Amino acid sequence: MRVGAYVDGLNVYYGGRQLCGRNSPGWRWLDLRALVERLTSRNRRWMWAGAHVSRVVYCTALVSGQRDPGDRHRQQAYLDALQATGTVDIELGAFITRTARGMDTTAGHVAEIEVQEEKGSDVNVASRLLIDLHTDQIDAAILITNDSDLRLPAVHARSLIPLGTVNPRGTPTAGHLRGGQDEGPGGHWWYRLTASDFRGCQLPESVAGIGRPAGW
């Protein structure tokens, strides 16, 4: 049983930050392949069916680095390390800047402020899941997100193949991502990541000469 995993990168980042602590080291250098294999191995029904991880797709967006250029360098080091493992496919969305009205805490009044929004990751997650499903690349899937906008592709996937839905945020799973264990072919499951999942699945300190950033 070929398992494909589809990862909403920003959801995972904010989940790890919430579960492990924003300034805490030891969770950002996440080995996605190891995490997916860990999740797969916990499901006896899937393992009895011969489940093995055939692909991991990581969908994220490059931060601008406007506030801190180091953010972009650290993120790029992580992406380079993932690519160097040869076990993860990366799909990039983008951040856009828009103008909004909000409270200027320095001046103490409402003003126009610049807000950055991430675009494309949820679409990329849904697209890669459905493309792989309908080109016979996978027999089961793991969806790692708590974004309710992915309700429709999750429902569709569950009608055709077993689907594991993993909430990385440490909060209740979005209602739109829930369903019945026996829908379609059955064998579906739901799980919420823990701090130990993040800390227990870290890349080596150096991957192909790319070192873990300081504080990570």
Structure confidence by residue, pLDDT tens digits, 41-86: 999 999 999 999 999 999 999 887 667 778 889 999 999 999 999 9
Alpha helices in the chain (DSSP H): 9-20, 32-41, 44-48, 69-85, 121-134, 151-158, 195-199
For the full predicted model, state whether its pTM sits above 0.85.
yes
Dihedral sign (CA 147, 175, 169, 185): negative
Which amino acid is it at 95? F
pLDDT at 117: 63
Structure confidence by residue, pLDDT tens digits, 181-190: 999 999 999 9
Contact (CB, 8 A) for 116 and 97: yes
The answer to whether residue 112 scores a pLDDT higher than 90 is no
Task: Read off the pLDDT of each residue in 107-130 and give the average, rounded to a whole number.
Answer: 74
User: 66 in a domain, yes or no?
Assistant: yes
User: 23 in a domain, yes or no?
Assistant: yes
What count of other Cβ atoms lies within 10 Å of the Cβ of residue 137?
14
User: 30 in a domain, yes or no?
Assistant: yes
CATH code for position 195: 3.40.50.1010
User: 108 in a domain, yes or no?
Assistant: yes
The answer to whether residue 100 scores a pLDDT higher than 60 is no
Q: What domain count does the chain have?
A: 1
Domain containing 78 equals: 2-211
Q: How many CA atoms lie within 13 A of 53 on its CB side?
A: 23
